[in-house]
Chains A and B, each alone.
Chain A
């Protein structure tokens, strides 16, 4: 992988530098010919309107610079006055608008002209376009009050136009430019103070639905710009809810929502009775009603907005889940109510009988309300909608409302659980996520848990994993519930063995959340017997591990539990504690000091000791300089071993530890290489033995590349040192080659290349050079003039002495460093059944891998397939195959197509 990364970086590097220059030169050239002149000539040449239109279209494709805009505009206007064809005028008008948007051009100069031509224009289309142009001008000059005033005036004048397009644009203009404060509008000239809101409000009852929509949109625009809308609009908007056109209704729903957020507490009367309710409640009821609208666009809109109405009173909120059932006029209980009753009566499901849901009491015919004006059953309808867009919106809204109201969360649980069986996977996933978000507020009943767990058998991996996450944070009420969950999870495990990690993690949380519920289950789960010893279970069985994970995590907060363990359980604990330390917590085990004390010191949650340990071991390495070579080597070896172990134990320090260990290993290799006796031997003799030194050089190079590219969060400080190390390796390589090859010709080239590298290093890291006191490079640069002139043999000699004398550079630890890593979960290694496929045909192999701390995986990660005959194939996964479950983590689930001519079986590499 390092190789790819390197390659990519170089590629990018070259890409970035060159094009910039090209673009710059191009731009300069473009500015030369005068745009306006060319356009003028073109337009004069045009004989027919179609021609002129063509020229204008061509002109519109090219950008115009700020300085020449003015001239172009003049010419366009000139032609506008002359032009008879409305379509050309239309195009000119739109060009004016486009040009006035040019950055750096102040459009106030063309406004007068634009308003002028507006007054003489007859064509409705051109009028609408001109108003659009004015809108562009107006938005460009937000500070200029006078201009805005004028524009608003113009818009008001044209509001009475017969064409809907013109009225539309006028309203848009009013919405965007209508002044926010009334006081400002009172001008000395006696311009009547215009109340923009009232003017726009008048068009709510326009005959054209498009104009009505535009009026509502303009009102919303005013709101967005910070104008406080009047409460009177509410009644007008409510009338529009029963409009014939969906766009009007959709916009009206939005407007009602806005008003309800502005005046939640004001009181409105209920028509046909003398009661009064809060406005937000009334609006909530009205929007709920729109959830059963005829158009799905409106339904989606309404369902979405419901979620953000948090001020609504709980009485209304709970109505949304209410649906009175009846059968032949007799009241019937819903399935949810029956399930609840069954549960609370302590009776367990007896299976449905004919007539189990037989209706009970008679319903008073007068009291049944078939079309509720209020919120009744809005979510029941929304969740059963035909379009999944509406259902998703409803689930989202439920989620938001439930987060703000615990009692509502409890009530909506039944409905959310029902959504787990939706026909569209997206909806199922969404409802599982929703449930997870509100899980703090709820406790699952057993029958609900049952339904939830049934989804564990879903064949979609996303669904199962989402469900595991949900189980991580749910509260279960009974021990039977825990048992049920465990059984189902184990079933899941046998059916989909790939879910292993996710299930273990889920059980970990399940155990630590419900220690008291797990306690009574322990003997059964461990199948211990009060009198007899039972057979020791297989330690490698994932199901057994799963059970142990649950129990150990429960035991953490339940000190009485370990007493129930049998001997082998303790042994297994020690094993798991070591092998799966992220899943098994440290336990205080009585009489088991050995087990706990051996491991616990470094693990106890506070991370200071390990951090300290890391620091100390690295500081020890400082003294390297003063030790004899033998001692230095030993010290390095020990430190590397310590660091590696630390990295394994402390996952959060793994990045730092690995990083430093790699660096130290490089240093160790360098020292070892220099320690070789062969340096002293005459050249011809050690020809064969030089392998070690050159191998060391090669390895150092490789490691430095890894350090540079495989860790995220590497800072410039570290990069310098890594490069420095690489430079040393290159020097070593040069020396070795010099010693082993005869003849100077190749050496010349190498020497030159090396010196170039040094030069490159110097140029790139010039700022950091002061930090490199006493180092190899420091000395090297001192001698640079001499090196440039001397012969290769001499260069080599100088380098050799310098390598030996140079000081060890201390590697400063970066703040945040993580090793980029990839684990292939599937296909599992050492699979017993090799993949067989017919030669020449293609077989698809599922690949599932977790990538940690990889930046931009869509572009950087590739899958390599190694065939047994040594042939390798690079495959670039699709961007859609990457999922992002958490920060710094990526999940690659893709299919790799294999095809080969002769072999069976293959290896895989990422």
Chain B
């Protein structure tokens, strides 16, 4: 049995820089090629030199698969393909292919233009890299080469996120990427069929969390926003441009529609416009509601949400503004925050996690006075709310997916080691993943070795092919019975006894006085020395060993008293 070897170059037991090497039956596949947000040195990219010291990567890797467009899953791609050098195919879904370059370009701009880094990949490199991409559809089986095939499954999480099944011969691995098992306002739930892979590599971000119903969260969020704008306050929602932003937009848009509200909603421009355009195009990747209604109206064509202009922040009256970036550490969201922080009627809603040190983290931990640059002190009077809108599967979701796919073994990545320990225990305990295929099974057949070929055929066919006669192996056994009657009668008694016991078998009484049960032959004989006992000869073939031994033990117990 060919072995499967998995080497995580990143995101093995942490989050960020997802990159996993899988060798399966001689084929090498790289899953994801991400960067790490936390580092600005060489550690931000996976160490590709592990793969090969000298020689091109193309010779070692059969293909690269990108699960979705988040930078921690695709951020190192131009570096990997253009600077390190890889010319093989890169597989990703259509939406990922469309949105990925926008994010890479944005990332490059911040790194090069803002931070002034040299030796970073260029715009041209991003373009060149994207030329190597092969887009795949959901559930489309792509033949990478003669033996290696991959297939994408829907994963939820973000638009175009996919799980991939990698198959070589009879060996298969499923890599989930990031996924979400509970549907939300614009995406459906991850789904996989019972493909029974040898190995399932799953993310485990929320390995120790079971989340509450999303409805309560949504209701709370909408209620907060609604109350604030009714009071005449302004609502600031700092978001990252893609993913959750669209989710919240749809949430607010439908709510505005339902409640017939007229308060303006703005979205800070830039990257989002382009991304929204792609969201409009990739309707098949969204959830049931959007798919069903887009003919009448595309849900991403927002009626109430308009582009934001810097000057709008000073407008009187209530409004809702989505602004980037999501942690309030710089840019437009911070500017607006400074303008509005002084009014207790206003509110800021943080829809996600904030890294320590950012303004977002400070206000969430209850700080009311913030030191801004230039020794200014900003007093925060506005309300601060936290709502978690995360699109990862929780512990239950992970278990559900594992249950759906029925893998032989599970590998947890993309999470914390401690939390994985818990989930590992649970998976072992509740799913009992003992591969059925490895259980010993009985098989009757003949292995024919001919011209360095192996063939497994049935014994009859083998005999026929080789022109051999079949040898029969028979067991014989004597059973002594106490019976004073004649042999014939004894045989008859044996016959009627067996007939009554073995209803499922064909019991026959042959004219020569012997009894047959299937292939088992019974003959009664009278030994000369003792007329009181009869000897019963039992003979059976090797194939009927079970029946034969059953019969002898049965007969050894003696015959039932005949009604004489």
Contacts and interface: CB of A to CB of B under 8 A. Distances in A.
Given A354-B364, A386-B188, A421 B260 contact: no
Contacts of B192: 294
Contact of A459 (B257, B400, B430): B257
B366 A354 contact: yes
Nearest to A495: B260
A880 interface: no
B212 A335 contact: yes
A323 B218 contact: no
Interface string A238-256: 0000001000000000000
B189 A386 contact: yes
Contact of A421 (B215, B385, B396, B431): B215
Contacts of B419: 328-329
A368 B426 CA distance: 8
B193 interface: yes
A interface secondary structure, majority? loop
B349 to A, nearest CB: 10
Nearest to A368: B426
Given A335-B217, A351-B383, A418-B213, A365 B422 contact: yes
Interface in B121-155: none
Interface stretch (B203-211, B275-283, B455-463, B530-538): B203-211
B222 A421 contact: yes
A53 B388 CA distance: 66
Interface in A764-812: none
A459 B403 CA distance: 42
- Interface size classification for chain B: 35 or more
A170 to B, nearest CB: 22
A398 to B, nearest CB: 14
A365 B418 CA distance: 12
Contacts of B508: none
A878 interface: no
B385 A365 contact: no
Interface string B2-41: 0000000000000000000000000000000000000000
A329 B422 contact: yes
B240 interface: no
A292 B385 contact: no
A355 B213 CA distance: 18
A786 B224 CA distance: 90
Contacts of B58: none
A816 interface: no
Contact of B430 (A335, A370, A386, A419): A370
Interface string B200-240: 00000000111111111111101110100000000000000
Interface in A369-384: 369-371, 380, 383-384
A369 B430 contact: yes
Given A354-B366, A369-B430, A370-B399, A325 B210 contact: yes
B395 interface: yes
A451 B288 contact: no
B395 A451 contact: no
Q: Which of A323, A355, A386 has the most CB of B within 10 A?
A: A386
Contacts, number: 115
B215 A294 contact: no
Contact of A351 (B213, B226, B385): B385
Contact of A352 (B194, B210, B212, B386): B386
B208 A384 contact: no
B475 to A, nearest CB: 32
Contacts of B254: 423
Contacts of A459: 257-260
Nearest to A423: B289
A388 B188 CA distance: 11
A228 B218 CA distance: 49
Contacts of B513: none
Interface in A457-475: 457-460
A830 to B, nearest CB: 26
Interface string A414-440: 010011011110000000000000000
Contacts of B395: 326, 370
A327 B430 contact: no
B500 interface: no
B446 interface: no
Contacts of A325: 210-212
A423 B213 contact: no
Contact of B210 (A292, A323, A354, A355): A323
A598 B427 CA distance: 80
8 closest A-B pairs (Cβ-Cβ)? A335-B216, A386-B183, A418-B215, A370-B399, A457-B259, A354-B364, A329-B208, A459-B260
Given A335-B213, A368-B426, A458-B259, 13 more contacts: A244-B194, A323-B210, A323-B212, A334-B212, A352-B220, A354-B364, A354-B386, A370-B399, A380-B213, A384-B213, A384-B215, A418-B215, A422-B215
